[in-house]
Amino acid sequence: MKRSPAQTFARELNCLTQAVYFEARGESPAGQAAVAQVVLNRVRKAGFPKSVCGVVFQGSARGAGCQFSFACDGSMRQAREARSWSQARHIAARALAGAVMTAVGDATHFHTVHVSPDWSRDLREVTQVGLHIFYRIGRTSDGEILADAPGDPILADVRGADARLVSGPAGDPIEVVEAPPPPSPPAVVSTADPGEAHAPAA
């Protein structure tokens, strides 16, 4: 049965809220928005699932190889802190409505400052926001630029009229910001494999 636009929006919002909450609830609003931006960047990038929920829970059906550790490590069974959840939901709603965290650009990977995963050496570092370092995919080992995937209809629906269904705490309206043009492709060759990326919980 096909979901209505409102149902699609609610589902995608819940998945993105979980990513923001479990990966960055201890971060500033900017740090949380940066994590949300990475999820949406992956939706638009070739080699990743084409929906927010698909990206957030990629690998979880196997119980291993999760792209986001909270989806496999039992974190979701823990009680949620109401205020932090509300803040994460607000950040997620703004991101789905079109608010852009320009500091991370088109980053698709991140990790905390406490670890140094092998895959990070094959990606281009973009910036650090709070306790997370963000990276973007450059080129494949044969020099081919990893192109963006075609526009996803689910994300298009979410960014459209149904974004008005959600407001932040105390009725704070969602800020809609146009995305900047994508940066030029990097000149450095990378051998990154998006399937091996892992974003550890904050």
Helix 29-44 vs helix 5-24: angle between axes, to the nearest 10 degrees? Answer: 130
Q: How far apart are CA 113 and CA 111, in angstroms?
A: 7
The whole domain housing 151 covers: 5-196
| One-letter identity of residue 114 | H
Is residue 42 domain-resident?
yes
Is residue 182 domain-resident?
yes
pLDDT tens digits, 71-114: 888 888 888 999 999 999 999 999 999 999 999 999 999 999 99
Is residue 41 domain-resident?
yes
Is residue 173 domain-resident?
yes
Is residue 201 domain-resident?
no
- List, for the chain, all residue ranges whose pLDDT scores fall below the cut of 50: 140-198, 200-202
**Dihedral Cα 114, 119, 124, 129, nearest 10 deg:** -30
- pTM given for the model: 0.70
Is residue 202 domain-resident?
no
Number of separate domains in the chain: 1
The separation between the first and the last C-alpha atoms of the chain, rounded to the nearest angstrom, is 36
Residues 43 and 152: beta-carbon distance below 8 Å: yes
- Per-residue pLDDT, 63: 61
- Other Cβ atoms closer than 10 A to 198: 17
Q: How far apart are CA 176 and CA 36, in angstroms?
A: 14
Is residue 175 domain-resident?
yes
- What CATH number should be reported for the domain holding residue 132? 1.10.10.2520
Is residue 25 domain-resident?
yes
- Per-residue pLDDT, 64: 63
